[in-house]
Amino acid sequence: MGVGAFADCGSVVAGRAHAAEPHEHSPAPLSGALQWAWDNHRMDVELPELPFPLRTYGPDGNWSYEDGVLTGWAGARQDRFVPPTGEALDPAADAPRLLGAPEGDFQLIARVTVGFAASFDAGVLYVHVGERAWAKLCLEYSPDVPTVCTVVTRGHSDDANSFTVEGSSVWLRISRTGRAFAFHASRDGEHWTFVRLFTLADEGPASAALVGFMAQSPVGEGCVVTFDHLAYRDSWPQGLRDGS
């Protein structure tokens, strides 16, 4: 199924785009990530691999989907990071995101390929619980070799490198059970390396989390990111450290 570019559209259903109606207020009280989603109305997107719709956030990512490949573009100096050495609690910049709200336990999987052009260009799987609580799992040029990196933000962001990658592609996976999230990465999509286990539930319930895709180019002039081999599982991994 190919829907082509869907920037500036409403929702994409069965390959067609139609405008989403804006609302001034939500029809019922919301909290955490769901309230954030309501307050930032953008276009809705449905991908055949995922059982929940996605919505665009942040700058225009020129998102497109065709033949199983999701493509997004980061513009110059676009990123989400709150330096732990600073006082501010808001990111200095923003980056294109495409996010949705899965129910219950899940795994979101994608092979991520980045058109690296500058240090810290990255393709990202992203999870958002609130404005002060979010995390990203990245394939990042960090700073001169492709590397699996993570950022967990609880007010301020931390920053950690995992392992380096040959080439411009790697498989990434976000999982959730209850209030816990896990990050894994894989060179082949079969054997998974444990990267991180954490919570983000201080600001809002983990069950209301938004998850999905992001592109960033913090110091560069922009980059393109593709996500393919998309997969969704409604379960937690059998083991976090056994390669499953």
DSSP letter string over 174-209? EEEETTEEEEEEESSSSSPEEEEEEE-TTTS-GGG-
Residue 243, domain member (yes or no): no
Residue 240, domain member (yes or no): no
> What digits encode the pLDDT tens for the residues 169-220?
999 999 999 999 999 999 999 999 999 999 996 656 777 899 999 999 999 9
CATH number at residue 118: 2.60.120.200
Identify which of 110, 98, 135, 108 has the alpha carbon closest to the alpha carbon of residue 226.
110
Distance CA 215, CA 98 (A): 9
**Per the structure, how many domains does the chain have?**
1
Cα 26–96–210 angle (5° rounding)?
45
Residue 183, domain member (yes or no): yes
Distances (CA, A) of 40 to 35, 57, 113, 193: 9, 7, 28, 35
| Domain range enclosing 115 | 4-233
pLDDT at 22: 34
Mean pLDDT of 109-116: 99
> What digits encode the pLDDT tens for the residues 19-76?
343 333 333 444 444 444 445 546 789 999 999 999 999 999 999 999 999 999 999 9
Residue 242, domain member (yes or no): no
Residue 215, domain member (yes or no): yes
pLDDT at 204: 63
CA atoms within 13 A on the CB side of 114: 34
